[in-house]
Structure 1
């Protein structure tokens, strides 16, 4: 190779290296960078600040979901092997740091529109709630999720009852809002009706543990509402006329419900005293028509009751049934057995046993399940504790479901049903080995053709 060729080759290598070393992403407009960052989580977007001086503040153009979730951290802190006073000090310190980080991020973000705002922290912050609502309104969020449910530790339980995050009737324009979730936020029917009237794209409303929600009217032309959940809200009067409503969930005291028009309803869920009334009064005109049209039904039988219910109507329309069953170890499960008899056409059955107490039982309970379930293909069980009555119920179901294909056993108890995904994953991982041991007692009774899986 001649000296000239060597020089040309070296020149091309230098040019190529310079081309490879150029940072094309940093030269992009802020709008495009913001769009890229919005496809990440808030934490991932924040980590890009260490890439270079150019990227130090690029995260402020983030336009995705501002997600501040302290659930997993609270779960870990609650299980620390330290004194009670130390735990309380930890909680206060964590709460203050959380609020400071959230305020800093909200003030730093520059994007005029956001996909959503999610704040999940025990007790919340009543003084900051108006600011968060204003932020959500100004940024045209599509998802607003405020969860202030208290999970941490006992000393603050009394305080948590007195610290209430109240959402007043002050109007905030949220034309882009599609999902509204409020937990431990006191909101009344007028405020929810205001959201329905001023948020034309609103499809999901979930309210949990609101002490002020007593009366609610869900009416209006052109409502796009598809999912309505009212959990642990003791409503006295509920009136619904929503043609697009697909799922409805209520847990609380018994009240007067009027399902005026819900032609699209496919899934219904009831809990609390209302479910206790419903299981013995399925023929009641208030919801008999609802039960006749849904394909998925979930009943939280939160009150332990002994005895069989006679004369229940049969609902062949229900394809998936979920029963949450309170249970004293070794005691009678005749009530859930009688409820099962009303749904002979189910294809999937979920049984969630609530925490059992260990007591001495004089007589061994027998299931005597008389109904056949020829369409049942899948059975999912959670909260299983190797209890003789639980085993008896499950064996009886095995015998009455000749076409059963699969049994899923979930280590996660119903106590964690509404917790965040990361907390659920941690609990499942922690309890999986003990659940495998518990399931060993079931294996001899599982038909050979049925697959047994521990999640």
Structure 2
């Protein structure tokens, strides 16, 4: 019976299948591509066109202009545009108002040529409006934009009045980037643009900033408070002479974050030198979910920097610690916040999750250090292999070294841990950045 049903669907013409899809919400309609190759082919149909680089805007405008929300399969959602000598643009639109512009199939030597890019939207002075209102782009994904195409991309972006989410990935040769959106842009994601040295942000409403790559010079010109900040600078700074003062404006934008990814070396080299003289007044009051990227030094991992940072995070609920042996490492920097008078312990911590550790002894050693910061009920502790560590003893009498406003880390109470098997109930949610 199943085979006959499959055959019936396979025999239906595109128009009827498109009509069926038109009765579904966009997200549900897109899921029909998982039913069979027959449905998948409908969504993957692509226009193939040829022209010059100047024709890109008109052709991208065309697939947006012909979008029909009531009949989403009436026209192809994908464009394969050949321009110049062997360069290709793959453009696609998807549900939830997403537009993808992918130039990665172009010539690699052109993509690596150094260039700068300025993405600017001025709602009061739109010089050119190529797009109709049939498809309002709210999320834009730019991949492998080169010096050859950055002017065209800038022209397209300058007219996306409803853009809220911008992703820029794998732009080889991109050295400077200026993003000027005074309107609706709330999410910015930049990944693997490894030559980027300068990032100028003129965005007053940005709430989410996710960056993976070498640390560039970041200039947030307008004040904004990030709720979600991923700062994965494990490759190190792009300048040899990068100093803590260069990071100060970025530090202010992440101070009120609720979700944060941070590398150990960022804290040791860029944050600690700034706050060491004012540590009593600088607290990450709102931070609830932290992903800490640590590194090995001289064949071992020290928890000193993490312990010091956690003293600045009184509201923390979930802590994930991952180890990257290749992560950039600072030498001769050992921050210590034992003098912090406002620290009263972690009262809300529910989960400690270790990732990337190759030694159970290292995990247990760090767990012993971290639980000394906990005030009240101990958190769940998950190891890199998915098991759990259960603390066997921590009586109130063993915490006698805790003073009214300060907990000594040098005088730790004795603790033993029991490793539980995998699959124990009650596991907390993953860190929001773990899948990024």
Q: Specify the TM-score bucket, using the shorter chain as the normaliser.
A: 0.5 to 0.7
Q: Partner of 1:225 in structure 2?
A: 185
> Does the alignment pair 1:178 with 2:134?
no
Deviations 1:197-238 (A, max 9, x none): 12223222222332232222222443x222112223343332
| Aligned-partner Cα distance in 2 for 1:287–1:356 | 24
CA distance 1:294–1:110, shift in 2 (3 Å): closer
Shift of 1:322: 1.6
| Aligned-partner Cα distance in 2 for 1:167–1:113 | 34
Q: Partner of 1:32 in structure 2?
A: 19
The number of equivalent residue pairs is 327
Q: Are the equivalent residues in 2 in contact too, given 1:183–1:207 (CA < 8 A)?
A: yes
Q: Secondary structure, in 3 states, of the residue corresponding to 2:31? A: coil
Q: Secondary structure, in 3 states, of the residue corresponding to 1:132? A: strand
| Aligned-partner Cα distance in 1 for 2:112–2:239 | 30
Point out the structure with max Rg over C-alpha: 1
Of 302, 318, 332, 1:348 maps to: 318
Shift of 1:297: 2.0
Q: Partner of 2:75 in structure 1?
A: 112
Structure in which a larger fraction of residues adopt strand: 2
> Does the alignment pair 1:265 with 2:234?
no
Contiguous gaps of at least 5 residues in structure 1: 1-21, 49-58, 67-108, 119-125, 150-159, 358-366, 412-434
Q: Secondary structure, in 3 states, of the residue corresponding to 1:392? A: helix
> Does the alignment pair 1:402 with 2:375?
yes
Deviations 1:328-365 (A, max 9, x none): 553434333333333233222221122489xxxxxxxx
Of 319, 331, 349, 2:288 maps to: 319
Deviations 1:395-434 (A, max 9, x none): 22123223456536475xxxxxxxxxxxxxxxxxxxxxxx
| Aligned-partner Cα distance in 1 for 2:94–2:346 | 54
TM-score (norm 1): 0.54
Contiguous gaps of at least 5 residues in structure 2: 1-7, 48-71, 118-127, 328-335, 393-415, 431-436
CA distance 1:446–1:208, shift in 2 (3 Å): farther
> Does the alignment pair 1:383 with 2:356?
yes
CA distance 1:235–1:26, shift in 2 (3 Å): closer
Q: Are the equivalent residues in 1 in contact too, given 2:111–2:172 (CA < 8 A)?
A: no
Q: Secondary structure, in 3 states, of the residue corresponding to 2:209? A: strand
Q: Partner of 1:106 in structure 2?
A: none
Q: Partner of 2:406 in structure 1?
A: none
Q: Are the equivalent residues in 1 in contact too, given 2:187–2:209 (CA < 8 A)?
A: yes
